[in-house]
Chain A
Amino acid sequence: MGITINTGDTVPVFSQLIEQIKSAVSNGDLSPGDALPSVRQLANDLNLNHNTVAKAYKHLIRDSVIVSKGYRGTFIHTDAQANCNFDINTVVTSKLGETIQALRNTGATDSEIRIAFGAVMKNKSDSGA
């Protein structure tokens, strides 16, 4: 099972990695429990910065497509097939849209929503949440 990335593409490299691993899981090329190369190995093979591959792996772990088992390595998650269809961006956009609509219904202007959103995000960032 191979992976191909295009550094000239407009899609960020880490997104290409995520998509290709998800697609390999969906197609059945990668099965639950299959081992993946280490971050260092994949980064060296693709001549990429280690942080780029680490970022892709981090997103895949968050989405429960892969699972890290410490020194033993990284493996395909047991529920990867179901989880790889889950798109966090769609969920975020949908929830945010609903919230904005609800706020507008209360009479809040877009400007007030923007300022409040910025302030809440800043507070969350400052408190490390």
Chain B
Amino acid sequence: METKFLFITVVLSQLFLMSYYFPRKIANRIQYVLDTYPPSEFPKLYPKSIEYYTRIQRNYRILNTFILVLGAMLLGIVFNNFPEDSNRERWDQAIVLSFFMVQFIPILLLEISSFNIFRQMRKTDLRTTRKAELQPRRLFDFISPILFGVVVFVYVSFVVFILYFKRFDYPWFGGNLNIVIITGAYLFFSGVAAWNMFGKKLDPYQSNEDRRRQTSLIVKQLALISIGMTLYAIFTILAHTFEIRYLGSIFMSIYFQILAVFSFQFIQMEDINFEVYKEEDQAS
């Protein structure tokens, strides 16, 4: 019975956080930009018609509300039909995971729209002068050596943990496959970080200072997600070993919420230089 209430509470929190709190925050940010930096004064910020932006915002709100209602209904069904048998973890983790993926759809669609807007910005940017800093960008310009050290320490600890754990010969244990998967994820995150640090600017008008701030935020988020992911992988193995898998879905939901908190961090609006989107800069 306690597990049932714990499960419902944690998943309810996931529902609130990812389908109400963060989406509301994002939609409010979009509205703030539309109100404070209108197309009449900041034309370069709007390479597409204003209707396109309001439609994106409206669809984002509608989709999240739909997922919120759907989630609440699903939770109601789970609450009334919560099985007490020991095989529950086979389906409750599937619910948490699949619902998390559904909750990510709106932000994914928003990201695709952002990419389209930036692509249109680059297409309509007819300036012949281009500027760059004559300073190399390095990893530690964006992340503190301490945080980087923690990422490396956690990864090495994970590898040692897996190698040590192999000696127990559990039939369910994936062995080196765990190292391969986590290493693959680390390589992927490193690639994303490098792309942000050295790749082409998505927004052609973005100031160097804004780019530095944004890259720094992304690299820190990736570092924290890497740490969270590795610790969660260790936890799931330990949960299997000590036969507390019935709590697996609860910890999975908490893990997803922590990931969401890491991922949904934004630069303060006041810190962003919107002057670059004014018409006056067209000549520069």
A32-53 interface code vs B (CB 8 A; 1 in, 0 out): 0001111011101111100000
Segment of B129-137, B150-158, B258-266 in the binding face: B129-137
Kindly list chain B residues whose C-beta atoms are within 8 Å of the C-beta of A8: 128
Let me know if B133 and A37 touch, CB within 8 A: yes
Instruction: Give complex CA distance A35, B135 in Å.
Output: 7
Given A41-B198, A44-B198, A44-B200, A24–B136 Cβ distance below 8 Å? no
How many residues on chain B are close to A (CB under 8 Å)? 15
Instruction: Give complex CA distance A30, B131 in Å.
Output: 17
Instruction: Give complex CA distance A129, B136 in Å.
Output: 35
Instruction: Give complex CA distance A91, B130 in Å.
Output: 32
Instruction: Give complex CA distance A102, B59 in Å.
Output: 80
B200-242 interface code vs A (CB 8 A; 1 in, 0 out): 1100100000000000000000000000000000000000000
How many residues on chain A are close to B (CB under 8 Å)? 25
Chain B interface main SS type: loop
Q: Is B171 an interface residue, CB under 8 A from the partner? A: no
Q: Is B199 an interface residue, CB under 8 A from the partner? A: yes
Let me know if A47 and B200 touch, CB within 8 A: yes
Let me know if A73 and B136 touch, CB within 8 A: yes
Let me know if B136 and A2 touch, CB within 8 A: no
Interface residues of A (CB under 8 A from B): 1-9, 21, 24, 30, 35-38, 40-42, 44-48, 73
Interface residues of B (CB under 8 A from A): 128-137, 198-201, 204
